[in-house]
Amino acid sequence: APTSNATGAVAFPPGFVWGAATAAFQIEGATAEDGRTDSIWDVFARVPGAVAGGDDGAVACDHYHRYRDDVALMRSLHLGAYRFSTSWARVRPDGGAPNPRGLAFYDRLVDELLAADILPWVTLYHWDLPQALEDAGGWPARETAYRFADYAMTAHEALGDRVRVWTTLNEPWCSSFLSYIGGEHAPGRTSRRDGVAAAHHLLLGHGLAAAAIREVDPTAVVGLTVNLTVADPVDPANPADVAAAAKHDGLFNRTFLDPVLRGDYPADVREWLAPYGLDDVVRDGDLPLISTPIDALGVNYYNGSSVAATPPAVVDAGVTDRPDGVRDDADAPRRHTQAPTPSPEGVHHHGRGLPRTAMGWEVQPEGLTRLLTRLHRDYTGPAGVALYVTENGAAYDDVADDDGFVDDSGDRLAYLDAHLRAVKDAIDAGADVRGYFAWSLLDNFEWAHGYSKRFGIVRTDYATQRRTVKASGRWYGQVARTGVVPDASAVAGADQSAD
Ligand code: GBH
């Protein structure tokens, strides 16, 4: 597709939301304070070899104690919105009774944000299930969906007078397939049946919570955030490769999009998941709940994928044929014992020689244009649902100078620039995209990679907890302030200031 916004200055529509995103477990720390109990990530991080470097979330970015400074930082970056998640194990420890001291933290945070003119965007579940609920069966147990809806209402009751945007789940593909089949994320299970049941119960939890919030708060903006890819066949003229791409699209994207936005699992997905028990967990009445109308679809996009029916002849530099594209290096978490999709047979990932980030993920901005255009055409446009890019960003091997400054203008800034241009291309093609959130505000706990991977537009020095805005952060602050992505040639090497 021709790119119309390749280099010149690009102005976004008035009212476009500029934000940055984080997640509770990745930044808060204070994991045993004010009544919070273990989540599955606290427990998983204690498993030898589960997280690179033996890292855990005990301190992270110490945001629990530094939230005021962090909100001031966001204000200095001119952010209009802040997407964060609430910790279930803080709000309802062990998944049990509401905890006023835990809720009070989010109360303070929301007030601080509003005082700084930053809209709070709450995500209720960003992967941190209370361990007690995992012990009771976790997401493969249907009961967890009902407990999630209860927790959602507790959070809404405390914050709903001030928080207007409610996202139920972040990336259910990750909290089901990657966590219960791939074993790479907490709770580290490796069962295809568990992964399929988890996926359905996450969707059910989304539907129950969305319906309950709508009921008590008809003007709330209710949504779901999904991680999506663009699956291209290696050889578009080879029907087997085309079928492999359709299968990857089905198991990665459509398994989650179709139930929510079209009211049913697609026929091919049903067929692929039947051997792993999908029909045993779907009950009458589930799909109408799951397809409760939403107002916003959050899209997390990092990379596209190029798939074939056969493995690549040569595995390119340091990259294994892993479905998640994770680089096979010393920092990489433990291997999948099975690929993290229920039916990976006949789906092989091939590198395309595109530049890669420090995660080993290919940089493919035009995929974001195609993804948003397709979503608008096939899913959200017909339903009148707004699109938001709720995560996009990149890890690179940052080098900080003596002042902690990282000049990432050659990589992270360029990544954000290219993807924002891709978003504008989608808007120009008619997609109703209303906002963009950089992942992430801060370097933080990158799940199985621990602190070894840095996605922040602000550097975190973990020894001192000092935050230093990177070149990409200064640039993004200007974009947020002006609503304009500046001429690319003016950016390279330019002296950028945050104000
Ligand atoms: C997000 O996960 C999370 O929401 C966030 O917490 C995390 O820190 C951030 O991204 C960075 O990892 O197309 O088969 O190669 C993103 C997880 C990343 C999982 C891309 C799938 C590519 C799969 N996704 N990955 S594939």
Separation in Å, CA 358 to CA 223, 246, 363, 368, 474: 30, 28, 11, 19, 21
Q: What count of residues does the chain have?
A: 499
Looking at this protein, which amino acid is placed at residue 30? Answer: A
Q: Is 281 exposed, middle or buried (0-12, 13-18, 19+ CB in 10 A)?
A: buried
Lowest mean pLDDT among 166-175, 315-324, 446-455: 315-324
Q: What is the predicted pLDDT for the residue at 318?
A: 41
Q: What percent of the chain has pLDDT over 90?
A: 89
Is the model's pLDDT at 205 over the cut of 60?
A: yes
**Range of lowest pLDDT (46-55, 229-238, 303-312, 333-342):** 333-342
Q: Determine the pLDDT at residue 343.
A: 67
Check pLDDT > 70 for residue 323: no
Predicted pLDDT at 3:
55
Looking from the CA of residue 361, the nearest atom of ligand 1 is: 15
Q: Which of 180-184, 395-399, 414-418 has the lowest mean pLDDT?
A: 180-184
Alpha carbon of 145 to ligand 1 centroid (Å): 23
pLDDT at 320: 44
Query: Quick check: helix, strand or coil at residue 318?
Result: coil
CB-based pocket (< 6 A), ligand 1 = 23, 26, 170-171, 174, 227, 229, 300, 302-303, 305, 323-325, 361, 391, 439, 446, 455
Checking if the pLDDT of 495 tops 90, the result is no
pLDDT of 436 higher than 60 = yes
Which of ligand 1's atoms lies nearest the C-alpha of 449?
A: 12
Atom of ligand 1 nearest to the CA of 305: 13
Provide the sign of the torsion angle of the four alpha carbons 306, 307, 308, 313, taken in this order: positive
Residue bearing the CA closest to ligand 1, atom 22: 324
Ligand 1 mutation pick, 126, 128, 171, max ligand atoms within 8 A of CB: 171
pLDDT at 438 over 90: yes
Q: Which of 28, 112, 391, 446 is catalytic?
A: 391
Q: How far apart are CA 459 and CA 400, in angstroms?
A: 8
Per DSSP, 395 falls in state -
Please indicate whether residue 328 or residue 111 has the higher confidence score (pLDDT): 111
Residue 319 CB: number of other CB atoms within 10 A? 20
Residue-wise pLDDT for 137-162, tens only, equals 999 999 999 999 999 999 999 999 99
Q: Give the nearest ligand 1 atom to 171 CA.
A: 4
Please state which of the ranges 47-56, 118-127, 195-204, 481-490 shows the lowest mean pLDDT: 481-490
Confidence of residue 339 (pLDDT cuts 50, 70, 90): low
Kind and range of the H or E run holding 468? strand 466-469
CB hemisphere CA count around 240 (13 angstroms): 8
Please tell me the distance between residue 307's alpha carbon and the centre of ligand 1 in angstroms.
17
* pLDDT category of residue 17 using cuts at 50, 70 and 90: very high
Q: What is the 3-state secondary structure (H, E, C) of 41-75?
A: HHHHCCCCCCCHHHCCCCCCCCHHHHHHHHHHHHH
pLDDT band at 313 (very low <50, low <70, confident <90, very high): confident
- Average pLDDT of the chain is 93
Confidence class for position 364, pLDDT limits 50, 70, 90 = very high
Report CA(361)–ligand 1 centroid distance (Å).
9
Q: Check if 391 is active-site.
A: yes
Tell me, yes or no, if the pTM score tops 0.80: yes
